[in-house]
Structure 1
């Protein structure tokens, strides 16, 4: 795994100060997805795959709204500040990822990272108004 190449792919998303649209997990946290605003038509999806460790801290101890699920777009306040990668000391087949998302920090240890650009029309995030 080429850490420098992966870091460049992530940095090429220009995530700094961009809104974090959602964080999702699948398969008992084996996969973690971070969705980052790109423009009105597209977003970035960073996939952390074969996760060994996932930990995070949020703003739940001081925010005024009890549940994030009650928030909408502008209220969220999660913005990309730093995403840094390094080899995981416990096993060289893994990469350690530190994410500073302004009011949330995460540490993820995983085997693989993928970065892809998605069309916003194909995604609906929990905070978007839904018409019935």
Structure 2
């Protein structure tokens, strides 16, 4: 599936203003899971995960909040294509020289769920419906 097809599937979820119930990062950042309403987005083969929020958002530990107290509601999900090269580090004469290797076609996904912003670069996005 390409980025446009994934974006169409996500848009068809009518996710706007959905409660975000979970954001998990597992396996040293290889997988990211986001759950909202009755939908789960699973990002795998992740190479970068950026999570940004306002310091005010962390004054009270999130783990102490009840579901009704969680302040996150999905506002925007944008999926695009992204291409990068692998950098193999080669030792030559005591110096490390980066050597471009294989090209990778990845996805870049930006999500806005104020006060949280998430940006993920991954190799696949899986959408599961009716998980609750």
- Is TM more than 0.5 here? yes
Alignment match, 1:81: 75
Structure 1 spans left out of the alignment, 5+ residues: 38-42, 121-132
Indicate the structure with greater strand content: 2
**SS of residue matched to 2:47:** strand
Q: Is the 8 A contact 1:65 1:71 kept in 2?
A: no
**Aligned pairs, number:** 114
The higher radius of gyration belongs to 2
RMSD, aligned α-carbons: 1.6
Separation of aligned partners in 2, 1:33 and 1:93: 21
Q: Work out whether 1:44 is the aligned partner of 2:39.
A: yes
Q: Relative to 1, partners in 2 of residues 1:55 and 1:19: Cα closer, same or farther, differing over 3 Å?
A: same
Q: Give the TM-score taking structure 1 as reference length.
A: 0.79
- Residues 64-123 of structure 1, C-alpha deviations (whole Å, 9 max, x = no match): 752000111121110000000111143551111101012100110000000001432xxx
Alignment match, 2:125: 113
Q: Work out whether 1:104 is the aligned partner of 2:116.
A: yes
Alignment match, 1:90: 84
Structure 2 spans left out of the alignment, 5+ residues: 86-103
Alignment match, 1:15: 15
Q: Is the 8 A contact 2:83 2:105 kept in 1?
A: no
Q: Give the TM-score taking structure 2 as reference length.
A: 0.79
Separation of aligned partners in 2, 1:67 and 1:103: 14
* Shift >6 Å, 4+ stretches: none
Separation of aligned partners in 1, 2:59 and 2:105: 40
Structure 1 residue 6: Cα displacement:
0.4
